[in-house]
Amino acid sequence: MSIQHTTPFPRPAMPEQVSFHRTELAVIMSLYGRMVAAGEWRDYGISALKDHAVFSIFRRTAENPLYRIEKHPKLRLKQGQYCVISMEGQMLKRGNDLKTVLRVLERKLIRAVE
């Protein structure tokens, strides 16, 4: 009797880090540019980490971020992969559609212009 060994299919390689795609950055930078023009924001930082990506928004360079836009791909089937977090750590909005999630910051733009 011979024993047959089967080779399992290789798992797809997981990316070493999570980052924002060009289309996601275009949506974020559109909002960022409007807020800079309104005088509300002045600087940003992007972090690509192992399990999530972060776009941090600053009023001044040497401060803690006013807001963090985070992308957690593992949560896309649960609460949603995008979220906006305030300086205090409060989750302002979460979902799978980036434009919808960023609407919470659009409201702040409307108030800043008025």
The domain in which residue 37 lies consists of: 22-113
Determine the average pLDDT of the residues in 6-15.
63
For 24, 31, 108, 111, the CA distances from 114, given in Å and listed in that order, are: 28, 17, 10, 5
Tell me if 88 is assigned to some domain: yes
- What was the pLDDT predicted at 62? 67
Per DSSP, what are the bridge partners of residue 2?
A: none
Tell me if 77 is assigned to some domain: yes
Structure-model confidence comparison of residues 33 and 112, the more confident one? 33
> Does residue 16 have a pLDDT over 80?
no
Tell me if 2 is assigned to some domain: no
Per DSSP, what are the bridge partners of residue 44?
A: 57
Tell me if 103 is assigned to some domain: yes
96: its two tokens: 């799978």
Tell me if 1 is assigned to some domain: no
User: How many domains are contained in the chain?
Assistant: 1
Confidence (pTM): 0.78
Tell me if 62 is assigned to some domain: yes
Tell me if 14 is assigned to some domain: no
CA atoms within 13 A of residue 24's CA, in its CB half-sphere: 19
> Does residue 84 have a pLDDT over 90?
yes
